[in-house]
């Protein structure tokens, strides 16, 4: 039920209204301070205030970003009527820890201080074998839940049923990795290993590889190598140069020559379901 926003370029609040996402975000994660990733912050803050927001908003950004982000929050001398906190996060640190997942910052390479973010869920309990539990004499009811949560249960006759007897191995949670703007890095491969979704900078085709290097972006083929080497389940090309707006197929074709899994070009308003890794089991 949580809403998290990653980067906030100009027009973000307009797109949020257009696609009906709602404004109930609790955390904004900024990858770097270039305009197309931060210039929507002042408008969004003031819209949240106009909508009588009361809860706090936490903004997370790369090293050296706090002063600049605070200026955006207070652009034009504006004072929000709700609490906004700004935090700098370093690569390798946990930007935000929730009950059952973490947002981890990782190293990226751009023309300014930058980080990427990985949403990593905790492992889930293994599957509960109800039939086995009943065979062992466990009565239907609260004892099932206790066993599933890892507790042992003592039956009326004094027999102890251990959780591991009726609960399978822990099942992995989901992992979603968002790079922001970056050159391809081995760090991203390591962070994105077995990710359920990788959203990677793929600004240019091979024909513009020199420009990709000079501007510290990735080509679609370079991003695809990261996706392949990390063995990700799905791979989204994003931050596409405007020169491919009418036809992004060349990017997709070059990515598919390297990565043979589920790859697509991200589109405005697109919704992507991220199932659990064992959803088909």
DSSP strand pairing (25-29 vs 3-6): parallel
Tokens 């989204």 belong to 236
Q: What is the distance between the alpha carbons of residues 12 and 18, in angstroms, rounded to a whole number? A: 10
Q: What is the distance between the alpha carbons of residues 250 and 220, in angstroms, rounded to a whole number? A: 9
CA distances from 240 to 6, 62, 204, 257 (A): 17, 22, 7, 18
Point out the catalytic residue in the list 7, 36, 129, 169: 36
Q: Is 201 a catalytic residue?
A: no
Tokens 């099942």 belong to 171
Q: What is the distance between the alpha carbons of residues 99 and 89, in angstroms, rounded to a whole number? A: 20
Provide CB contacts within 8 A for 117, sequence distance 6+: 6, 29, 31, 95, 103, 104, 105, 106, 177, 178, 180
- Give the 3-state DSSP-derived string for 41-80, with helices as H, strands as E and coil as C: HHHHHHHHHHCCCCCCEEEEECCCCHHHHHHHHCHHHCCC
Q: What is the distance between the alpha carbons of residues 221 and 252, in angstroms, rounded to a whole number? A: 9
> Catalytic positions, please?
36
């Amino acid at each position: 039920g949580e809403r998290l926003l990653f980067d906030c370029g100009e027009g973000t609040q307009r797109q949020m209204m257009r696609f009906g996402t709602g404004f109930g975000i609790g955390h904004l994660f900024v990858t770097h301070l270039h305009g197309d990733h931060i210039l929507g912050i002042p408008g969004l803050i003031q819209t949240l205030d106009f909508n009588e927001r009361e809860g706090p908003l936490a903004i997370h950004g790369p090293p050296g970003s706090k002063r600049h982000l605070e200026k955006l929050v207070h652009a034009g001398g504006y004072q929000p009527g709700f609490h906004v906190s700004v935090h700098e996060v370093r690569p390798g640190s946990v930007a935000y820890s929730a009950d059952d997942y973490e947002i981890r910052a990782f190293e990226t390479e751009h023309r300014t201080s930058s980080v990427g973010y990985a949403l990593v869920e905790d492992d889930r309990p293994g599957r509960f074998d109800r039939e086995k539990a009943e065979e062992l004499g466990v009565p239907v009811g609260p004892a099932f839940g206790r066993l599933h949560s890892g507790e042992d249960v003592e039956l009326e006759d004094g027999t102890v049923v251990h959780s591991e007897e009726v609960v399978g191995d822990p099942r992995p949670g989901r992992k979603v990795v968002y790079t922001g703007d970056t050159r391809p890095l081995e760090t991203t491969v390591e962070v994105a290993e077995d990710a359920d979704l990788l959203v990677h900078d793929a600004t240019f085709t091979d024909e513009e590889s020199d420009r990709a290097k000079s501007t510290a972006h990735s080509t679609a083929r370079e991003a695809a190598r990261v996706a392949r080497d990390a063995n990700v389940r799905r791979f989204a090309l994003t931050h596409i140069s405007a020169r491919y707006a009418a036809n992004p197929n060349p990017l997709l074709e070059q990515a598919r020559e390297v990565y043979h899994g589920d790859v697509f070009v991200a589109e405005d308003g697109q919704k992507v379901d991220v199932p659990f890794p064992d959803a088909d089991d």
